[in-house]
Structure 1
């Protein structure tokens, strides 16, 4: 879809959007990460809050594996706006993706009983009481916690959650703005998430250069970690400050060793596979399944997939076998009644237009736990155990217990 340009700059447009939200919403909070985008957004929101003498909530879900530089910046932001915020610095056990190990494909930040291996201790002002939120249960996914917080914070009132995403960062973020969805008064830079809560994207049309121009022009505090990342040779699109072991974030694991060696020692000891991930995740080839892969001599892609599955712990193997069974059954009903090919045209495979056992091998080598490379999406933890039971019955019915 072509872009429509307006006769207004992005800063003034963001300020107009924020003013409208303050006019229309009785409850407002900011989803804050300490990153460059959410920091600029917090500055903009707080400028309006201070003008109006209003308080807004500031939610930070602390995922434990963070740089000291980032923590220092977050604390400085909380202190800067202390008179106009309701702070929620959350350090609760939340389950996260570990993309660097098949032996521990998921990990829990702030896990009770593992205090001796925590990457760092929670700050004194953090929420660590598991009974603080009535909706929380130990092991929630991050994606489950955030919308539940919004409903709780809103208390049934019309509620706005400011989110600092920009459409030019990725196709998924563009779709968040542009896609078909329920909105507030038909405004595309809003998304209804349930129970009177709307996500608001006031800087969705900013470019990364606008972010840094704002910081420079107004002299606002920003996360100095980006300076170190720039010095390490990263491009803006490569700079990530989220939990270190995720599918995208694992590419930056090596930076801990360069920027904060003392933190790296804790990061590498926290979960299985962290050091291996730091060493090889940026490499092309079979170790992490990046770009071009090869199969062992004497193997087909199917037999190689079976070999990879056999090498996994039972629980991880069952997880992948369930995903593969659905993948095979879906394509069986769409022209592949005799089974999928061993490999297909590389361009069609890359576009996910055709199935193949080579695609399956790439997902396994990449430790693509939710099998996004096979067109799956993440399953919520509350439904996952039920999903496994259903899959056991389905695989028996489909005759796909063994591939």
Structure 2
């Protein structure tokens, strides 16, 4: 081959490679990113990330799939928020895998299932996209697939779909919380409701993500499946039988569909079991439940007093430690890790303004972070925290706080004042606390 011909051939190959590289950057010919993500597993009552113990401070990010949706979402915001969370060490996100219903008062809109068995393809795509972006950042998802509460439709919507009448929405004046809970408790013994829910679980878990080419059950981005958000034995002890049957059926189905990833209930702890720790223990000894969960809400439970904030913040810390200790004892007894997968604290005077002080919140958060740091040092069963919740770059109206269709999503669900418990991108003191604590957990 002549020298000039060889040079021309080499230049042609170089430019061809450059063009292919440019096509990949532009996304036109991009192939799915399937970088390796370590499986989260359990050994000796501890989480392991690959072959190393895994202790984390993560966030609740229930609305991630909604802003991940191509047509109705805000992917630019999603990517900025994932990058910000990753920069402060947050790699564990608890996410709502779909809402149900028509998005009426106090409820998520749009819903993944506007009608039973009918799916919003844009929102499915949003969940796919979120998981793909998390995978790129080596972040982990805890997906809950139902809700005890009306704010995302949940169990009460399944009842409405299957002939149980209108849902007694407790956020409307004509209904009470007792009426709502007495209505919702029927879900656990409603055969068509459960069948529809099991179909939803199967549909979701066996889905293949087009962005990664991975079936959900093969994707280690998913750390855990949760049966629901705050499933409860409701109103009376005799409800335990129906609840237990539903719970056992559900976790058995999840385990059958996915023998690799972890399973948890999503419970708030003893508040979900009529304040009965024996019941909490009894229903979590199931071999298909890999780890325990608890939630904690000082404001909702009367520990925090808006008129005496400094002192009641310290009361909240004291009560929080007692509450955690009760649950940690059960986790130690049955040899399972435990995660505090929800806890929140308001700004000064429960203000919705981003200018309001978060000093009391930071004080409370730091005390809770110290518990996970101490647990890591002693290789204890308290394995993770997910604060509620991360609102990132959401824009809210502090003069109103009422969520309307089309408004930015925050960590506060639609029935609550927007910004009440949310940690925003501008809350630098809180984010710095999270970063420091997560760095300590890595040391």
TM-score (norm: length of structure 1): 0.28
TM-score (norm: length of structure 2): 0.26
